[in-house]
Amino acid sequence: MKENIVPILTEVGKIWGRDAIFLHSVYIINAKAFQLTGEFSSNNCSNLRDTHDRKYQITFKGVHLFKMIELDFDEIEYQSSFDLIENSKQLLRMINEDKARHIGKIDATYKHYVFRTYDTVFEIIGKDFELLLI
């Protein structure tokens, strides 16, 4: 199957543009979870009509893959600043390896996310995420 990149629609709507997500901190909670904090630019979020930016806290859980790369070196295609990669080749490789080795840690309920901040791109394969607007 061909990979399909789909924008994730959050409560702030579709997030789009290099100036859309500013990153303030990265916090490793444990070996399977991490949290990002920062601000969404109201000009780059389809559901934000006011003129002030909104602070966020996003936590990714059940993480099996975590990559962080400087934006200028990222090679993943994108549809927005927060995307889901459907039919992910990387996720499929991990699921197949898990099955072949009888590991039992990852299955088709996991998802492949890409979260693009102003300077840094995060690639995540995990169980889910929780986004809080502060």
Q: Report the amino acid identity of residue 125.
A: I
- Please give the Cα distance from 128 to 133 (Å, whole number): 17
pTM of the model: 0.95
**Count of domains in the chain?**
1
- Please give the Cα distance from 79 to 8 (Å, whole number): 9
Q: Which domain covers residue 126, as residue numbers?
A: 4-133
- How confident is the model over 74-133, as pLDDT tens digits? 999 999 999 999 999 999 999 999 999 999 999 999 999 999 999 999 999 999 999 999
User: Among candidates 1, 10, 2, which has minimal Cα distance to 83?
Assistant: 10
Which residues 6+ apart lie within 8 Å of 30 measured at CB?
A: none
- How confident is the model over 14-69, as pLDDT tens digits? 999 999 999 999 999 999 999 999 999 999 999 987 778 999 999 999 999 999 99
129 close to 66: Cβ distance less than 8 angstroms: no
pLDDT value at position 1? Answer: 83
CA dihedral 26, 76, 69, 81 (to 10 degrees): -40
User: Do the bridges between strand 33-40 and strand 120-126 make them parallel or antiparallel, or are there none, so unpaired?
Assistant: unpaired
